């Protein structure tokens, strides 16, 4: 056993939540150590979300990791929705809103490089991380690396270790309520070096199921089709994927679709999940460790950034001013914001996907919802508020 390390905030997980928290704390003079189960390359190899709200972009700039995003990110002022035979653009401009398309993989790289530049400590391939003492006077993290046991003493633990992490599981079941909806389908996603079908995102609600055309750059597409949860990836050749996507797009977009070899292909299940409360003694949950949204609303990464900004502000107030009000309201304030994003994500999912056992009435309701959305200025305003994340909220603390 090596001698115990000591830090102020022990951060479990080196995804966007853990890395952004470490960065915000570091800039305010609060010390942290990040513990990650996987290797750095593995974390950087994951293809995840790609749409940043304006507030997320501002948090990243404040964290001094916005330079490449500002250079290479694609600013979008609208999205296209397709349903029935119709294609309608929802224009964000009347609401002064925009989003930036910038891959989570790139953001993770920027955060890792920023941490290296500031000399922050991250420990990769930390196995069997265990969280102890969070209801007592000090917390302790234990892990194994290279066959040796290691210890980290800290004041607080930030559980940023995603849905399958150890942090949420460290809270006794009697202290935690969870709320979950598992959807009866998944998304088959591909990444390919072909130009995007359109310069904006296309969300399509088709008879055969949902489809989404997104991108990572002017030459790289990120596209998805709704699939069965038990679909076998080996049965989805590149050709079959592009054919299915083409079928689910309106004629004009389908004609522009360029097929090409895929760089990555995977199936992800869709889930809505919230754990509460987000605090257990000295342990705070943030990001996917606390909640999951189905990707339809593009909220996951944005929620994580806001959780972490709020938690960083609260921890900084503790160390700088000796004030704990923000730590005390973290859970309640974050949960109100989280439930709003859960609502929007579940709604987007329900109107755009093909659910098993759907009746003609259910389909007509979806079309009526989408028809109302594109036809009503009030409905479009509400959509943009949630999609672009422009809703201003005051819940007794920074949200």
Residues taking part in catalysis: 76, 203, 295, 299, 387
Structure tokens at 103: 């891959």
Question: Any contact of residue 214 with ligand PHB (CB under 6 A)?
Answer: yes
- With CB under 6 A as the contact rule, the residue among 21, 25, 35, 51 that binds ligand PHB is 51
Least separation in angstroms between CB 201 and ligand PHB:
6
The stretch among 53-61, 265-273, 299-307, 363-371 that binds ligand APR (CB under 6 A) is 299-307
Question: Any contact of residue 352 with ligand PHB (CB under 6 A)?
Answer: no
Q: What does 51 interact with, of ligand APR, ligand PHB, none (CB < 5 to 8 A by kind)?
A: ligand PHB
Q: Which is nearer to ligand PHB, 222 or 337 (CB)?
A: 222
Question: Any contact of residue 16 with ligand APR (CB under 6 A)?
Answer: yes
Least separation in angstroms between CB 70 and ligand PHB:
18
Q: Which is nearer to ligand PHB, 7 or 345 (CB)?
A: 345
Q: What does 129 interact with, of ligand PHB, ligand APR, none (CB < 5 to 8 A by kind)?
A: ligand APR
Q: Which is nearer to ligand APR, 308 or 397 (CB)?
A: 308
Contacts of 343 (CB under 8 A, 6+ apart): none
What is the pattern of x (binds ligand APR, CB under 6 A) and - over residues 141-160?
-------------------x
Question: Any contact of residue 121 with ligand APR (CB under 6 A)?
Answer: no
The stretch among 10-18, 261-269, 333-341, 359-367 that binds ligand APR (CB under 6 A) is 10-18
What is the pattern of x (binds ligand PHB, CB under 6 A) and - over residues 288-317?
-------xx-x-------------------
Question: Any contact of residue 186 with ligand APR (CB under 6 A)?
Answer: no
Q: Cα-flanking dihedrals φ and ψ of residue 96, to 5°?
A: 65, 25
Question: Any contact of residue 222 with ligand PHB (CB under 6 A)?
Answer: yes
Q: Which of 221, 209, 299 is closest to 260 using CA atoms?
A: 221
Question: Any contact of residue 53 with ligand APR (CB under 6 A)?
Answer: no
Burial 387-398 (b: 16+ CB within 10 A, else e): bbbbeeeeeebb
By CB under 6 A, the residues from 231 to 250 that bind ligand APR are: none
Rounded to an integer, what is the distance from CA 154 to the centroid of its chain?
27
- With CB under 6 A as the contact rule, the residue among 10, 16, 18, 50 that binds ligand PHB is 50
Asked if residue 277 has a cis previous peptide bond (ω within 30° of 0), the answer is yes
Q: Which is nearer to ligand APR, 33 or 352 (CB)?
A: 33
Q: Which is nearer to ligand PHB, 268 or 329 (CB)?
A: 268
Cβ atoms 55, 343 nearer than 8 A: no
Question: Any contact of residue 7 with ligand PHB (CB under 6 A)?
Answer: no
Angle between helices 104-118 and 16-27 (to 10 degrees): 40
Question: Any contact of residue 66 with ligand PHB (CB under 6 A)?
Answer: no
Q: Which is nearer to ligand PHB, 122 or 221 (CB)?
A: 221
Least separation in angstroms between CB 200 and ligand APR:
20
- Cross-strand bridge partners of residue 315: none
- With CB under 6 A as the contact rule, the residue among 103, 120, 162, 196 that binds ligand APR is 162
Interface residues with ligand APR (CB under 6 A) are 12-18, 35-38, 43, 48-49, 104, 126, 129, 160-162, 164-166, 287-288, 300-301, 304
Interface residues with ligand PHB (CB under 6 A) are 49-51, 201, 212, 214, 222, 295-296, 298
């Amino acid at each position: 056993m090596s001698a115990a390390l000591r830090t102020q905030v022990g951060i479990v997980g080196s995804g966007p939540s853990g890395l952004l928290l470490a960065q915000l704390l570091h800039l305010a003079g609060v010390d942290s150590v990040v513990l990650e189960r996987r290797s750095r390359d593995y974390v950087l190899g994951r293809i995840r979300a790609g749409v940043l709200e304006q507030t997320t972009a501002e948090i990243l700039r404040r964290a001094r990791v916005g330079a490449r995003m500002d250079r290479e990110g694609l600013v979008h002022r609208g999205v296209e929705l397709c349903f029935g035979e119709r294609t309608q653009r929802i224009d964000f401009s009347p609401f002064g809103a925009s989003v930036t398309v910038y891959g989570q993989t790139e953001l993770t790289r920027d955060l890792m490089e920023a941490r290296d530049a500031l000399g922050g400590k991250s420990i990769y391939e930390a196995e069997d991380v265990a969280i102890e003492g969070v209801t007592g006077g000090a917390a302790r993290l234990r892990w194994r690396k290279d066959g040796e046991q290691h210890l980290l003493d800290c004041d607080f633990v930030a559980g940023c270790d995603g849905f399958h992490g150890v942090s949420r599981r460290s809270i006794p079941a009697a202290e935690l309520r969870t709320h979950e909806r598992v959807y009866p389908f998944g998304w088959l996603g591909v990444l390919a070096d072909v130009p995007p079908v359109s310069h904006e995102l296309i969300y399509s609600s088709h008879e055969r199921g949902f489809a989404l055309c997104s991108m990572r750059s002017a030459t790289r597409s990120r596209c998805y089709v709704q699939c069965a949860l038990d679909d076998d990836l080996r049965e989805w050749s590149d050709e079959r994927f592009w054919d299915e996507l083409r079928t689910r797009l309106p004629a004009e977009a389908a004609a522009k679709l360029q097929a090409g070899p895929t760089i990555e292909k995977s199936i992800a299940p869709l889930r809505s999940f919230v754990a509460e409360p987000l605090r257990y003694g000295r342990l705070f949950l943030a990001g996917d460790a606390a909640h999951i949204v189905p990707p339809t609303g593009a909220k996951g990464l944005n929620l994580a950034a806001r959780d972490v900004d709020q938690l960083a502000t609260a921890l900084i107030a503790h160390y700088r001013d000796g004030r704990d009000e923000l730590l005390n309201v973290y859970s309640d304030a974050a949960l109100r914001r989280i439930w709003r994003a859960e609502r929007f994500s579940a709604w987007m999912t329900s109107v755009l996907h093909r659910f098993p056992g759907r009746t003609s009435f259910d389909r007509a309701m979806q079309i009526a919802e989408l028809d109302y959305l594109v036809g009503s200025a009030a409905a479009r305003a509400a959509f943009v508020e949630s999609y672009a994340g422009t809703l201003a909220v005051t819940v007794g603390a920074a949200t």
